[in-house]
Amino acid sequence: MLKFIPAVPSPLPLRLDPNDAGLQAPGAPDGTIISARLLANLAACPPETLVATVLRTFRQQFGGMGWFHVRFQAPGAPGSAGEPVIEDSSTAEDDGRKLLGDMVESMERAALQAALLAAKTGTQATVGFPLFRQPATALAYPVISRGQILGAICQASMQSQSPRISASLLLPIAAQLATLQTVRLEAAQERSLFRRAAALTELFAAASKGSDFLECTRDLANHLRDTFGCDLVALAVRRRGQTRLVSVSGWNPNAEGQTAGRAVLQASIDGVMRQSQPRVLGPAPESGVDEDVTIQSLREWFGPAHGLIAPLEEPDGTQRGGWIFLWKQPLPDANRIEALINAAGPEVAAFLPLLRAAKPGPTRGTVIRVWRRATANQRRFASVAAGIAALIMVAPAPLPVATTCELEPVVRRVVAAPFDGILERSLVKTGETVKAGQLLAELDGREIRWKLADAVAQRAKALAEADLTLAAGKIAEARMAELEAESLAQEIAVLTYRNNHLAVKAPIDGIVLRGDLERSEGAPLRLGDALFEIGPLDHLLVQLSAAPTDVALLREGAPVEISLESFPGETFHGRVSRIAPRSEAREGQNVILSETELPNPEGVLRPGLKGKARLQGPQRPLIWRWLRSPWMAIRQATW
C-alpha cells in the first residue's frame, strides 16, 4: 500500500475506499476515487520517467489543460528557493492535438508564477491568468524532501471546466510521487557511489598484486579505466622533486611511437600540479577561442569529449603526482564521477608512497614475476644454474686493467741543417717511408761555390805575393802573406765540405714523422735547424694510459692485449716493459703511462695509431671485475 507523508497538511484528507481499494476524498462526489492499482503502477515506474508518466496519466485520466513539474535550481527552505525551471510537462499536444497561439507559453508562465508562490508559502498556491480571453487557473503544490523545497507540481485549467477530481486532491498525490522519484534517484546515486567506493577498495587490492612498483601502477591505471568507464587513464608519480609519467592504461611502455603522446600527457599533468587545481575538459571550443597550448596538444592527440586532469595531493597538501581521465563520449553523470575522483585523490596519493615502499624496483620485480610464473622444474633448473653462476663468480681470475694506447717510434732521429744556407728543394713528405742514405732535401750551393772560387783565387794570390816578398828579402811581409794563404786554405776546406754536403740524406730506415718542407723551399736555414724527424718501423713503442686508480694493478712483465682502431679484427700481444714513475696529463685527464714494444716486421703499423689495451692484473674473484669500481668510488666518497 502506498503511504503518503505530505510535508504540509493536504487540503482534502484521503482515505481508502473499502470496496474499490482506492483513494477518495471525504465529501467528494461518488465515483471520484483514484484507483490504488493506478497509483501502484505509477509508483513502480522507473525513477527517471516517474514524474513525466504521472503528469501525462493525470492529465489524460482526470483532465486539465496542462500539467507541469517545476524544479528549483537551488532547493531551499520555504521562502528561499532559487530560480524555477520546467522539468517535465504534459499538454494536449502530447496527444497530437494542436493548441492555438501561445497557449502553452501562457500556461508555463502561470505555472512558474504559481510554483514561486507555493515555494514562498510552503503550501498550495493558486494563480489566475487569462487563456484566450477566458479566465483560467494555475494551481501549484510544493515538492518537499527533508525540509527542502525541490520544486512544485502545477495544473493549469479553465475555470469553466469541471474536473472529475479536484486538483487539490491530485496535486498532493503527484507531489508525493515526485518526492518518491527524488528519493529513488538519490538512493540510486548513493548505491552507485557505494559501488564505486567498493571498486576503489578492489582497485587498491588489485594494484597491490603486481611484482614491482611500475607493474602495480599499470594495473592501477587499467583498473581505474575499467572502474570509471573512461578511454584513457594516465598516472604520474612525483619523487625527489621530479614528476614522471609511470603508466598509461592500455599502452606499451616500451613503444617508441608513443613517446610524443606520453610527453603531452606529462606536460598536462605538470601544468595542473603547478597550479594545484584540477582541470575539467569539456567539448572542444569553437574556432577562434584561445586555449592553452598543452590542452590543444592533448585534444589533437586523444580527441576527448570530456576529461579531468588533477593533482594527487595528500590531505596535508603534499603532492605525490597527478592523473588524467579522458572520455571520448560525453558523460551524463560527469559531476558525480568527478566528485568521486576528487574524493579518491587523497586516498590514492597516500597509497602511492606505501606502494613504492612495499614493492621492489623493476629489475628485482622482473625476477620475482618470472619466478612466480615458472614451473617446479624451471625453478629447480634456475636454482642449480644460480649456484653454478655463484661458484664461477667467486673463482679467482686475472683482473683485467682497461687502458687506452697509442703507437710511438722506439727512437726518433732528427735530421738538422748542417750549416747556414738556403733550402733548394724537399723530396719527401711526412708519413713517407725512407731508406738509410736516401736523399731527403738539397741545399742551394751557388753561393758556396762562388765563395769557394774566390777563396781559391785569393789563396793563389797570397802565395804568389809571399814568394815575391821573400825573394826581395822582405821577411816580415812574406810571413804575413803566408799566414793569409793558410787562412784562405781553412776557408777553402770549409767551403769544400759544404759544397760536398749540400744533399740531406736519411740516417736510418724508417718513416718521416715530421718535415713537410715543400712550402719552405727557398727559405734560409740556420745551422741546427730541424729539417726532418725519422723513426724506425721495425719496432714500435706502445704507450698505455691507465687510470690512477689502477696503479696498484700494474706490474712489469704483465701480458698485454692490444686492439687498434685501424685493425679492429686483429689482436696484438706484448708485455709491459716499463711503468712511468709518475702520472702525466693526457687529453685533460691524469693517467699512468706504461710501455711495451710491438714488433712490426712487415711495416704495416704506423706511429700515431690509437686503440684500446687490456693488461692482465693480479688474481681476484671474477665478480670483483664489476664490484671494484663502485666499491672504490664509495670508499673515496666516504673517506
* CA-to-CA dists, residue 205 to 1, 10, 202, angstroms: 44, 53, 5
CA dist 155 and 469 (Å) reads 166
Under 8 Å between Cβ of 337 and 280: no
Whole-prediction pTM: 0.39
Q: Burial letters for 534-549: b for 16+ Cβ neighbours within 10 Å, e otherwise?
A: bbbbeebbbbbbbbee
**Tens-place pLDDT, residues 574-596:** 999 898 888 888 877 888 888 99
Q: Which residues pair with 280 in a beta bridge?
A: 308
Identify the CA nearest to 1 among candidates 487, 449, 10, 14. Answer: 14
Is the separation of the CB atoms in 169 and 28 below 8 Å? yes
- Quote the percentage of the chain above a pLDDT of 90: 9
Kindly state the percentage of the chain with pLDDT values over 70. Answer: 89
324 pLDDT higher than 90 = yes
Q: Which helix H or strand E contains 364, and what residues bound it?
A: helix 362-373
pLDDT per position as a tens digit, 467-489: 788 777 777 787 887 788 788 88
Interval 248-272 mean pLDDT? 75
Q: Judge whether residue 309 has pLDDT over 90.
A: yes
> What H or E segment, with its residue span, contains residue 239?
strand 232-239
Rounded distance, CA 430 to CA 511, Å?
8
Q: Using the predicted structure, report yes or no on whether residue 180 has a pLDDT greater than 70.
A: yes
Average pLDDT, the chain: 81
Residue 272 has pLDDT above 70, yes or no: yes
Mean pLDDT of 538-546: 88
Angle at 106 between CA 104 and CA 108, to 5 degrees: 70
Confidence band for 323, pLDDT divided at 50, 70 and 90: very high
Sequence length of the chain is: 639
Question: If you average pLDDT over residues 335-357, what whole number do you get?
Answer: 85
Domains and CATH numbers, the chain: 15-189 (3.30.450.40), 209-365 (3.30.450.40), 413-534 (2.40.50.100), 536-621 (2.40.30.170)
Distance CA 272, CA 308 (A): 10
pLDDT in tens, 32-87: 456 778 888 888 888 888 898 988 888 888 888 889 999 888 877 766 767 888 98
User: How buried is 527 (Cβ within 10 angstroms: 0-12 exposed, 13-18 middle, 19+ buried)?
Assistant: exposed
E strands, 523-566, are 524-525, 530-535, 539-546, 559-564
State the pLDDT at residue 321. 92
At 403-412, the pLDDT tens digits run: 999 988 888 8
Q: Which has the minimum average pLDDT: 175-189, 197-211, 425-439?
A: 197-211
Determine the pLDDT at residue 163: 66
CA dist., res. 251 & res. 581, Å (int):
59
362 confidence band (pLDDT: 50, 70, 90): low
pLDDT surpassing 50 at residue 424: yes
Compute CA distances 354 → 208, 215, 347, 357, 610, whole Å: 10, 15, 11, 5, 53
User: Of residues 160 and 599, which shows the higher confidence score?
Assistant: 599
**Strand arrangement of the beta sheet that strand 22-24 belongs to:** 15-16, 22-24, 33-35
In this prediction, residues 358-374 reach a mean pLDDT of: 71
Three state DSSP letters for 293-360: HHHHHHHHHHCCCEEEEEEEECCCCCEEEEEEEEECCCCCCHHHHHHHHHHHHHHHHHHHHHHHHHCC
Q: Is 344 exposed, middle or buried (0-12, 13-18, 19+ CB in 10 A)?
A: buried
295 or 322: which carries more pLDDT confidence? Answer: 322
Band of residue 497 on the pLDDT scale cut at 50, 70, 90 = confident
Check whether 14 has a pLDDT greater than 70. no
The answer to which of 111-125, 129-143, 421-435 has the lowest mean pLDDT is 421-435
- Res. 175: pLDDT tops 70: yes
Structure-block grid coordinates of residue 293: 597550448
Query: Burial code of 186-224, b = ≥16 C-beta within 10 A, e = fewer?
Result: eeeeeeeeeebeebbeebbebbeebbbbbbbbbbbbbbb
User: What is the pLDDT, as a whole number, of residue 15?
Assistant: 37
